[in-house]
Structure 1
Amino acid sequence: MSSLVAGGLLVFLALWLLGLAYATWCFATRRGAVPAGSPPATCRVSILLAARDEELALPRCLASLRALDYPAELLEILVGDDASTDRTAAVAAAAMRGWAGRFRIIPIVEPMGEARGKANVLAHLAREATTDFFFITDADIAVPPTWIAALLAHAAPDVGTVTGITAVRGPRVFDQLQGLDWLLSLSLVQVVSDGGRPVTAMGNNMLVIRAAYEVTGGYEALPFSVTEDFALFKAVVAAGYGFRHAFSPAARADSLPVPTWSGLLKQRRRWLRGVEALPRRLRLELLFFGGFWPALAGLAWAAGPGPALGVWGLKVLVQGALAYLAHRRAGLRLRWRLLPLFELYTLGLTLGLVSFRLFGGAVVWKGRRYG
């Protein structure tokens, strides 16, 4: 009986490794085509930034926006102060003092339609924006000077959203493990997206075309979701618009890391709610890739530690190749010493998310509780 179990698990793990190897090959060889008819690099654009209790992170973000290699007179920066209890508004005003472009701080005090939380802030900001291009980012993000031009290059009349990549940067090993996690995940998203299948978008590095946004009715008309970026992306795709993902240093935004393990698990709990809204095929594929650790544990029980260690070693090698390619394409260098530690990191995340699925619990985000 144990030999049959071991054989079945070996087949599963072999398919898992082949899937990862194929994704690595696709990432190395495929490039999504840049659409024709991109808007001129001299068009006016709006930057929408939702902020709630962000007095510490906001100056870094706004400094990067001031340093954009784009004419200031063509930029409109709108900061939505979402009932902050700290000095968010004052810090934002000080950071942008003397800037030549258009800048406004908009207090958010009332809900708009169905929108709540960040979605409500963005609904208000979109109403206030005066351009046809909404660049959305977060307070814990620093964008590169090339950000506007890099995302605009992928825009077109039939493209509703353009998503750049995000790299987590920080000095601690825990920060660097988060960075490795992000780039590996985004490389897989890029592979699926280059194949023409919609997966998601990221609301910390995202261009939304006004026409595509308005055809959905805006955030105020969408059902509430704690993953508001995915909800909007799904609605835009359903309206018939295309999408693009830009995986390049010019489109790379750098995020501050989550400082604690508990905070990281809370972040992933929120994202898990978005995964539940993915198409069934994608959910099954994610379930398949999420089965590595249970299958490996089962193989160690049924066939002993030797075969399990061999499979684990192959996984580290193939995953390392993908990590190297992802870092190089993002304009970063891979710290190879992180790869063994990354195995413990992913195992801990897997156990934490399984616990969440088993025991449930509300999502707490920016001090607000969502059931």
Structure 2
Amino acid sequence: MVFTFGFLAVYFLLFLGLLWLWWHRKPKAAPPLSHFPKVSILIAARNEEEHIIACLEAIDRLRYPKDKLEVLVGDDRSTDKTRQLVLGYQQSHPYVSCHGIIHDLQGTKGKANVLAQLAHLATSDLYFITDADIEVPPRWVESMLRHLTSETGIVTGITTTKSKGLFNRLQALDWLFNLGLMQVVADRNLPVSTMGNNMLVTREAYEAVGGFESIPFSITEDVQLFKQVLAKGYKTANVYEPEVLAISQPAPNVLSLLQQRRRWMRGSVHLPWYMLLLFVIHSSFYPVWLPLFTHTSLGVWFLVFLGKVVLQSLFVDRCVTYIGRNIKWTYLLVLEIYLLLSTVVLLVLFFLPFKIRWKGRLY
């Protein structure tokens, strides 16, 4: 009983503090670019015929000099028309090239293997990494570069999903909520994490850790790279701005969503301890709150739940507003049910000895 109320007190004080920091956020102004360096965009693609052209067309809309841009697509043994589509696209877009990935570098698998081989082929000192089902905004490259300093190894943007339909809208809100939590911490000049679908890593930092082939393998290769770059003494930057907001395809169904989130939970063990603690406290609310009604009245039990919903909804609303979007409050209420169900299920799945299916492979 003492633990329960102590935990709830810590939870509400913590998230009230996070909400206050988010509400009064004053991001540092990034200076404009003084020149436009050559950059390399690395894309790992495996059976992405439905999305790869939309991804490349979004890159073509970048407001960045095309003579300073190279796009390297690694076809990871696709069995659909991904390779043919990219080869056809590059005929009219000479800055795009397609590379067949037919073997694994020692110590790598899957996406990490593709990116490792593309990094060897890249000719610039700046690697922008995104996914084949992502559409980046027009000022993506320019805006990310503005946050790069001589001490920075990794810059991370933000991503959400296409939000047509209730299930997809809830995924979009979930992405923005978690990224908002990370950004509040990052604004305190503390490293948090990165995302492999919206990141910039310098060649210097990448080579300092020996590339993906020299770091421990992880199915969350981006978080592992982030950890290793930090260990080498580089700084990182997280950017929560509409100019770097990339749009991803949502998980098509509940099973795919759970596989995705279970993979992310595996990667969470590589997070800094304070980020891991934050997400543990957040995820532990329901397991602590649910049995509370056995120790108090239903009225108090419901008020605790209502307080959590209001606090969280204000935070999410701020996250959405910050990137210039609007959201109906009814979706925020449904989001609570979505988070409750997904949290309980994922906590169970995380400890089950099942392999994770990702891009048609088991890990």
Range into which the TM-score falls when normalised by the shorter chain = over 0.9
Which residue of 2 is the match for residue 73 of structure 1?
A: 67
Shift of 1:156: 1.1
1:104 counterpart letter in structure 2: S
Matched, 1:235 2:228: yes
With the length of structure 2 as denominator, give the TM-score of the two structures.
0.96
Are residue 364 (structure 1) and residue 357 (structure 2) matched? yes
SS at match of 1:59: helix
Distance 2:52 2:270 in 1: 31
Amino acid at match of 2:37: C
CA change 1:281–1:244 in 2 (3 A) is: closer
- Counterpart contact for 2:223–2:271, Cα < 8 Å: no
Residues 121 and 34 (structure 1 numbering): CA distance in 2 closer, same or farther, change over 3 Å? farther
Q: What is the Cα deviation at residue 35 of structure 1?
A: 6.5
Find the residue that maps to 1:318 and give its secondary structure: helix
1:33 aligned partner: 28
Summarize deviations over 1:193-243 as a string: whole Å, max 9, x none. Answer: 122222210010001111111101001111110000001111111111000
Deviations 1:241-266 (A, max 9, x none): 00001110101101111010010000
Shift of residue 113, structure 1, vs aligned partner: 2.6
The alignment covers a number of residue pairs equal to 363
The letter for the 1-side match of 2:148 is A
Instruction: State which of 194, 197, 203 in structure 1 corresponds to 2:196.
Output: 203
The residue identity in structure 1 corresponding to 2:36 is: T
> How has the CA–CA distance of structure 1 residues 344 and 305 changed in structure 2, closer, same or farther, with 3 Å as cutoff?
same
- CA offsets, 1:249-300, max 9 Å, x none? 1011011110100100000111111112234443333222211101211212
Report the counterpart of residue 76 of structure 2 in structure 1.
82
Report the residue type matching 1:25 in the other structure.
W
Are residue 333 (structure 1) and residue 326 (structure 2) matched? Answer: yes
1:107 corresponds in structure 2 to 100
Report the alpha carbon displacement of residue 110 of structure 1 after superposing the two structures with TM: 1.4
- Local SS of the residue matching 2:179: helix
Give the equivalent residue in structure 2 for 1:24: 19
- Please report how far the alpha carbon of residue 17 of structure 1 lies from its aligned counterpart in structure 2 after TM superposition: 1.5
Instruction: Calculate percent identity across the aligned residue pairs.
Output: 39
Among 240, 248, 260, which residue is 1:255 paired with?
A: 248
Q: Which residue of 1 aligns with 2:260?
A: 267
Counterpart CA distance in 2 for 1:64 and 1:27 is: 30
* Farther off after superposition, 301-310 or 260-269: 301-310
Partners of 1:281 and 1:248 in 2: how far apart?
23
Q: Decide which moves more: 218-227 or 10-19.
A: 10-19
CA deviation profile, 1:281-340 (whole Å, cap 9, x unmatched): 433332222111012112122213211111111111111111111111122212221112
Counterpart in 1 of 2:51? 57
Q: Which TM-score applies when normalising by structure 1?
A: 0.94
1:291 is aligned to 284
Instruction: Report which stretch shifted further, 301-310 or 89-98.
Output: 89-98
Q: Is the 8 A contact 1:160 1:241 kept in 2?
A: yes
In structure 2, distance between residues paired with 1:137 and 1:225: 17
| Superimposed CA distance per residue, residues 100-138 of structure 1 (whole angstroms, 9 cap, x where no aligned partner) | x52110000111131111000000000000001111000
Quote the residue 2:299 is aligned against.
306
1:12 aligns with 2:14: no
CA distance in 1, matches of 2:11, 2:285: 7
Give, as a single letter, the amino acid of the residue that structure 2 aligns with 1:11: G
Give the conservation status (yes or no) of the 8 Å contact 2:156–2:200. Answer: yes
8 Å Cα contact 1:50/1:118 also seen in 2 = yes
RMSD: 1.6
In the TM superposition, 1:111-126 aligns within 5 A as 111-126=104-119
Q: Which amino acid aligns with 2:91?
A: R
Per the TM alignment, residue 97 of structure 1 is displaced from its structure 2 partner at its CA by: 3.5
Contact in 1 for aligned 2:42/2:115 (Cα 8 Å): yes
Q: Is the partner of 2:237 in helix, strand or coil?
A: strand
Partner of 1:343: 336
The partner residue of 1:174 within 167, 183, 188 is 167
